[in-house]
Amino acid sequence: MKRTIRILLAAVLVAVTAGGYWFYQSRAATTASSASGQTYTQIVDVTQGSLNSSLSVVGQLEAKQSANLAFEQMSGTTNLLTLAVQAGNVVTTGQVLATIDPAPYEQARDQARSDLQAAEEALSDLQTPATTLAIAQADVAVSTAKQALAQANDKLADFKSPDLTSLRSAVQDAQDSLALLQLQATLAGHESLAKSERDLQYAVSWYQRRITELQALSNPNAEQIAEIPDDQVSLAAAQVDLARVQVERELARQSRAAEAAKANVVLADAQEALAEAQAGGDKLALAQAELALHQAEVALQAAQEARTDLDAGADATKIAAAQAAVDKKRLTLGDAEAALAGARLLAPFAGAILQTNVNVDDQVTANTTILTLANLGTLQVVASVDETTIRQISAGQDATITFDAFPGQSLQGKVLTVPLQGLLQGGVMVYAVPVSLSGADNLALLVGMTANVEIQVGQAADALLVPTLALTKANGLYQVLVPNTTDPNGDPVAVPVEIGLSDGAYTQITKGLNPGDQVVVQIASTTSSSQNMGRRQYDDECHPAVGRALKGVTDEEAHDGVTRGREFADRTHDANRADHAGNCDWCGRRHRAGGGGHGCAGAGGEPVSIVRIEPGHSDRDVELWLLTERPAAEQPHVDHERRERDQESGYVG
């Protein structure tokens, strides 16, 4: 933040032409090369006129309508699926800018729909009167539950009081069945399939032997030759029949074996059951039977209650609970649909993409800013005003705005609002004040450009004016020095005053002085040397006679030093600027506006409008302020590194 130091040397010239005079007073030495302290003094008439007070601050250009867009509805972390825009693109309202994978959100929405449907059906069932069919179904359910309960009771009773006679009979039946199967297996060798297999084996052997004999004849007759093919056909048929019979016999054997195995299992189970019953029963099976009985009892109770509910009608409490469940599921569905819609990043308004912060496949969360969108059709300047001067700002005040990027261009605006909350920056509370901007249609302004804002904070007509340099402060009160009327050679007399507006060069006196009064301006210096003469010269825009009188040098010395003086001014003009933390670039200390500072910077980094030397500064500080009264457009920028080089070379104290 900065405030331009405006020491209008023209005011000094006006004072000289109005009858003021300069004199030099030294308290320790009279030569220009003396190292002792010096005081430069001027007597100035109190004038009367109009005063416009303004506050110069720095801000930056912003769009009134802008937004940092993110997938705010998403949960967890995912990869960016698509990015349809890049910086500089112009978009319309509702345009899709970027997307993430919608699959998990579609699944969540479908599940929410299903849950809502089930809840609505449950509510509808409660609200719908029981039908004849529903009553009949409930009766069937009660009967089925009763039957299951009876079976569970019987099974449990069997475990608790086993029938040993029946168990022994079951063992005997299983033994008889197994013996019968074994007998059937023994008789299987004498059944028809076995006889057929033997006959077919004989036939195959005969045909094979006959064909071999016929083929072995050395001189067979025609009948023998014709017999060979017939025997071969018969052999093939016999072989097929033999294979079929063998398969049938094998299947019969396997079936008997399976029945025998089953009979063995039945016998083993019967024997085990008899043994368990004789030993007192299986504890695990008994526990399972008891559990089955309990489950059957619960099922019967539920079926009976459901049947009773049908007769009594819907319960109000249950209906309310069901309705609450429906409402909850509906909200869940709404959230799921919003989350699904949030998988697409849409432009909330028409504008231009200022920047994109991610690329496709980058991992993003709900807090990841995907891009910045701004409506460049409506721009404003947001000025930074510190806590010491914010009280001077009010909505509707006129402002003049310039941009470093467009020298010589001056735009107009008005303070829109005064914020109630500031932001702490470097130990100073700074307020972001929006200022409207007009007349910028033909300028290629970009968001973020630095703007210099001069806000008109007040006006006064027919005001008593004194140079701001004439003001001092003692015990928290302002005062000026006036000539000693009783003793012309005596020290000036301090007169308390009350001040009003100030434009930096002049300050309004509301109480303590009258038209026609005179005030004394004193500037104290701590060091002086002939080496610094050239550095103290005014540039071409300053009055050479005043410069020589103030500096105590001849015309030749002034002319000789003017080149070095201007070079010094060009290198050091920016030393009165302060950073946003409120530290003076010249001396490194923080000064508060109007409060005894040397004028290079006020609180929050704003240069103050009065110029006085604080203890510890040399007269080279004075020449800094005198040499910087050049138009802002003519003042080159000087950085800290260059100033450090100047300090090392002796140009800057």
Question: Mean pLDDT over residues 55-72, rounded?
Answer: 93
482 vs 629: which has the higher pLDDT? 482
DSSP 192-219: HHHHHHHHHHHHHHHHHHHHHHHHH-SS
Q: How confident is the model at residue 189 (pLDDT cuts 50, 70, 90)?
A: low
Residues 263, 179: Cα–Cα separation, whole Å? 9
Question: Mean pLDDT over residues 152-181, rounded?
Answer: 80
Residue 596 has pLDDT above 60, yes or no: no
Of 562, 567, 591, 565, which is closest to residue 578 (Cα–Cα)? 591
| Top-ranked range on mean pLDDT: pick from 190-199, 261-270, 512-521, 544-553 | 512-521
Residue 581 has pLDDT above 70, yes or no: no
**CA-based radius of gyration for the chain:** 56
Q: Greatest CA separation found in the chain? A: 182
pLDDT > 70 fraction of the chain, expressed in percent and rounded:
72
Q: Given this model, what pLDDT does residue 608 score?
A: 35
Residue 585 has pLDDT above 80, yes or no: no
Q: What is the mean pLDDT of the chain?
A: 76
Q: Given this model, what pLDDT does residue 648 score?
A: 52
Q: Given this model, what pLDDT does residue 188 score?
A: 66
What are the φ/ψ torsions at residue 156 (nearest 5 degrees)?
-65, -40
pLDDT in tens, 237-254: 888 988 888 888 788 878
Q: Given this model, what pLDDT does residue 286 score?
A: 75
* Relative orientation angle of helices 9-17 and 544-551, to the nearest 10 degrees: 90
235 vs 606: which has the higher pLDDT? 235
Cα 387 → chain centroid: 30
Q: How confident is the model at residue 541 (pLDDT cuts 50, 70, 90)?
A: very low
Structure tokens at 209: 């032997």
Q: How confident is the model at residue 336 (pLDDT cuts 50, 70, 90)?
A: very high
Of 483, 511, 484, which is closest to residue 497 (Cα–Cα)? 511
Alpha helices (H) along 128-221 = 132-160, 164-187, 192-216
Residues 466, 469: Cα–Cα separation, whole Å? 8
Question: Mean pLDDT over residues 264-274, rounded?
Answer: 84
Q: How confident is the model at residue 456 (pLDDT cuts 50, 70, 90)?
A: very high
Residues 615, 431: Cα–Cα separation, whole Å? 31
Residues 209, 486: Cα–Cα separation, whole Å? 171
314 vs 461: which has the higher pLDDT? 461
Residue 570 has pLDDT above 50, yes or no: no
Residue 553 has pLDDT above 60, yes or no: no
Residues 481, 25: Cα–Cα separation, whole Å? 16
Q: Given this model, what pLDDT does residue 525 score?
A: 58
Residue 102 has pLDDT above 60, yes or no: yes
Letter for the amino acid at 210? R
Q: Given this model, what pLDDT does residue 280 score?
A: 64
Letter for the amino acid at 80? L
Structure tokens at 281: 């029963």
Do the beta carbons of residue 435 and residue 463 sit within 8 Å?
Answer: no
Least confident of 251-255, 303-307, 441-445, 525-529: 525-529
Residue 162 has pLDDT above 80, yes or no: no
Do the beta carbons of residue 551 and residue 603 sit within 8 Å?
Answer: no
